[in-house]
Every structure is written in C-alpha cells, then in structure tokens.
Amino acid sequence: MRVLLVDDEEKFVSRLAERLEIRGFESDWATTSAEAFSKAAAAKYDVAVLDVKMPHMSGLDLKKKLQEMSPDMKFIFVTGHGSEEDYCAGSREGFCYIIKPFKIETLVEKINQAMNV
C-alpha cells in the first residue's frame, strides 16, 4: 500500500513516513502542495494523509486537486488546530479526521480502514 503524506512540518512528516515504512507501508512525503502534485504525477498512491492547514493551499483544496489526478485515492486529514469548523470540513471531505498529536497505530488503523484491509 502506497501512502503520500503532506504536511508543512518537515520533521513531523518525514518521521511519520519513516514510522509507516517500518510498519510495511510505502511512504513518500511532501511539505508543499507543489511537491505533492509532482509526487502524485510520478507515482500512484492509495492514500493521501493531508494536513488541513498549510501555507498557500489548504489540505482540503489540495485534496480536490489530487482527486482530479487520482480519483481512486483515499484521503485522511490531520490537524493540530482542531476547530469544529475544520472537523466538519475534514470529516465531510475525507475518510476521517485525526487531531495531532496522535499515535502511529491510530493512523495505521485509519489507513487500513480506508483501504478495507
């Protein structure tokens, strides 16, 4: 299963990718929407884990663009700014919505649920 992680916090997203790799996921990461588009154009991902609040383009807007490129891709949103408005938007647009900090097992479980594994 291939996962694309997108978050503007480089240390967070790179370590998250490493932790998913240890658990058997092929993981790539990006810190900008432009980087995410480039990676999605070059490879097929099953799941994208997107930060809701990023500079220049929100995770919700990024999801719409990535979905145009890969209609079968599943989306999970994460945020460190858990407002009710964000929760509603993230829940409506993605498979699920996770508030930081979270345990890696929670993300693994949500990825597997999104892919019906």
Whether the pLDDT of residue 86 is over 70: the answer is: no
Amino acid (1-letter code) at residue 10:
E
List the one residue out of 23, 19, 22, 17 whose CA is nearest residue 5. 17
Residue 108: per-residue pLDDT:
97
Residue 96: per-residue pLDDT:
83
Q: Which residue carries 């240390």 as its tokens? A: 11
Whether the pLDDT of residue 92 is over 80: the answer is: no
Q: Across the chain, what does the average pLDDT equal?
A: 91
Q: Any idea what DSSP says for residue 1?
A: -
Q: What is the mean pLDDT of residues 70-80?
A: 92
